Chain A
Amino acid sequence: MTTEEKNINITLKVWRQKSPDVKGRLETIEARDISTDMSFLEMLDTINEGLIIQSKEPIEFDNDCREGICGMCGAVVDGIPHGPESAMTLCQLHMRKFKNEDIIFVEPWRARAFPIIKDLIVDRSALDKIIQSGGFVSIAAGGAPDANSIPISQDIAEKAMDAAACIGCGACVAACPNASAMLFVSAKISQLALLPQGKPEAAQRAWNMVNTMDDCGFGNCTNEKECEAVCPKKISIVNIARMNREFFKSGFASQVL
């Protein structure tokens, strides 16, 4: 294959918004000779280089590790958060998934709880607020405990680990038709509630995190399963059922309120 064949020309329809308060719009940007070996973010880098040379504002987007583990990147590509590939973050999406002359829509996460800062960057501090409201365990300081002093079955450890795989990227919120954060919150509640170390505060944690989630202005879950479909870490909605159980225990069977 020659280099010419590996390169494609694409048209981006990308969301441009100067600041949180001004009105944004979709801008059309033609990109020529994009190598199909590039990742989606490298493609944006290339376009930005061109924009900077032309003394234009580059497209602002969040990114960090670029290997799918930090949860920093993310945009809605052609209507799907993190793009068309399943179980992947945006940085792992490659231009070989696109064809020559494709028109690609790139939009930021859209939710009332995620105000746009600039272009594709949104403020996800609402997720931090939820974590702060209850995502911790009390640990007695002191000498390091012996290994395996608290028995945990393999099955439970795996479930907790699966929930803890959440990187907090916010794609679940972006994909949810109701902009609900329940998959995120359920993963954070589950990873602690499943383990003995997380049990003492389980009721208070479920209560605080669910209420903070509501206060942040996220929508309500209607079991559409779109979150699970776009989650780069394949977090299952089984966690949402577990969160509901934890919440019912907290609301109906505990003394936390």
Chain B
Amino acid sequence: MNWLINTFGTSIGKKLLMALSGACFIGFLLGHLGGNTTLYFGKEAFNSYAEHLHALGILVNIAEISLLTLLVIHVVTGVTLFFQNLGARPQRYAVSKRAGGRTWASATMPYTGVLILIFVIFHLINFHFVEKTLDNTIFDIVSKTFVQPEFMIFYIIAMIIVAFHVSHGFWSLFQTLGANHPKYMPIITRVGIILSLVFGIGFGLLPIFVPLIAS
């Protein structure tokens, strides 16, 4: 198994880990957004979605453990790369200008990443690790949270950050996997931007919409 460790230990191997785990998160976000759209159909639809999801039993636990493992891989590899990259240029330039490749999204990947991690921890404490009862359903918990303006704004900002992270991450993961072809890259880049807008708008409108239907 040494060959596997050696391959993943190289610079390109670490990139591959970032790309593969990132791809899984995009898959997860699609599923999560799919589920959350039931919120747009009201309390019953959302609660019944949650009930059906938890009826899957062990499958939910497997998914949770997989996501946690992927999270550890993505964060540990990302932090390692960040510090290695800082060390690769000990003396910074006095003047540094973008030549045209870098975007705001690509330049801020490590920072948006950290903010998303903080958000995910907060989000899990908020909605996952709370006791749900018949009187206090998941919909009630969500709507009670979003009627507070500070939570609403916090969630919207978090979703804009996610959209930024995905807008660079999506095409970037294809590039890393070696799938860069002049015929397909323009489409992949566009899909990435559309996807980040879908995530940003799809999730981002929920904190505004839920208080409206809750009252």
* B13 CB-CB contact with A under 8 Å: yes
Contact between B88 and A244, CB atoms less than 8 A apart: no
* B179 CB-CB contact with A under 8 Å: yes
Chain B nearest Cβ from A77, distance in angstroms: 9
Pick the contact of B181: A178, A180, A238, A251 (CB < 8 A): A238
Contact between A241 and B179, CB atoms less than 8 A apart: yes
Contact between B81 and A222, CB atoms less than 8 A apart: yes
Which residues of chain A come closer than 8 Å to B94, judged between CB atoms? 13, 26, 105, 107
Taking CB atoms and an 8 Å cut-off, the chain B residues in 118-147 that contact chain A are none
Chain A nearest Cβ from B21, distance in angstroms: 15
Pick the contact of B99: A111, A175, A221, A252 (CB < 8 A): A175
* B90 CB-CB contact with A under 8 Å: yes
Residue in A closest to B18 when the chains form the complex, CB atoms:
A222
Residue in A closest to B109 when the chains form the complex, CB atoms:
A222
Contact between A110 and B92, CB atoms less than 8 A apart: yes
Using A79-B96, A220-B84 as known contacts, say yes or no to A226 and B102 having CB atoms under 8 A apart.
Answer: yes
Contact between B175 and A237, CB atoms less than 8 A apart: yes
* A91 CB-CB contact with B under 8 Å: no
Which residues of chain B come closer than 8 Å to A210, judged between CB atoms? 10-12
* B55 CB-CB contact with A under 8 Å: no
Contact between B93 and A180, CB atoms less than 8 A apart: no
Taken together as a complex, chains A and B put the C-alpha atoms of A113 and B168 apart, in Å, by: 27
* A78 CB-CB contact with B under 8 Å: yes
Pick the contact of B93: A79, A237, A251 (CB < 8 A): A79
Q: How large is the interface on A (under 10, 10 to 19, 20 to 34, 35 or more residues)?
A: 35 or more
* B41 CB-CB contact with A under 8 Å: no
Contact between A107 and B93, CB atoms less than 8 A apart: yes
Which residues of chain B come closer than 8 Å to A243, judged between CB atoms? 12
Contact between A220 and B101, CB atoms less than 8 A apart: no
How many residues from B make CB contacts under 8 Å with A? 45
Contact between A242 and B85, CB atoms less than 8 A apart: no
Using A105-B94, A175-B99, A177-B102 as known contacts, say yes or no to A223 and B181 having CB atoms under 8 A apart.
Answer: no
Taken together as a complex, chains A and B put the C-alpha atoms of A162 and B110 apart, in Å, by: 33
Which residues of chain A come closer than 8 Å to B178, judged between CB atoms? 241-242, 244-245, 248
Using A107-B95, A244-B12 as known contacts, say yes or no to A237 and B87 having CB atoms under 8 A apart.
Answer: no
Which residues of chain A come closer than 8 Å to B88, judged between CB atoms? 111-113, 178-180, 217-220
* A22 CB-CB contact with B under 8 Å: no
Interface string of B169-191 (1 = CB under 8 A from A): 00110011111111001000000
Using A224-B106, A243-B12 as known contacts, say yes or no to A80 and B99 having CB atoms under 8 A apart.
Answer: yes
Taking CB atoms and an 8 Å cut-off, the chain A residues in 94-140 that contact chain B are 105, 107, 110-113
Taken together as a complex, chains A and B put the C-alpha atoms of A218 and B10 apart, in Å, by: 12
Which residues of chain A come closer than 8 Å to B2, judged between CB atoms? 257
Contacts A230-B99, A240-B180 supplied; 18 other A-B pairs, CB < 8 Å: A79-B95, A86-B100, A107-B94, A112-B90, A210-B10, A214-B10, A217-B88, A219-B85, A219-B88, A220-B81, A220-B85, A220-B88, A224-B106, A229-B99, A247-B12, A248-B16, A248-B178, A251-B10
Would you give 29 A-B contacts (Cβ < 8 Å), ordered by A?
Answer: A79-B95, A79-B97, A112-B87, A177-B102, A177-B107, A182-B11, A210-B11, A217-B88, A219-B87, A219-B88, A220-B11, A220-B15, A222-B106, A223-B106, A223-B176, A225-B100, A225-B106, A226-B99, A226-B101, A227-B101, A228-B101, A237-B180, A241-B177, A241-B178, A243-B12, A244-B15, A244-B177, A257-B3, A257-B7
Closest 8 pairs between A and B when the two form their complex, measured CB to CB: A225-B101, A219-B88, A79-B97, A251-B7, A241-B180, A245-B178, A178-B85, A229-B99
Query: Which residues of chain A have a CB within 8 Å of any CB of chain B?
Result: 13, 26, 76, 78-81, 86, 105, 107, 110-113, 175, 177-180, 182, 210-211, 213-214, 217-230, 237-238, 240-245, 247-248, 251-252, 257
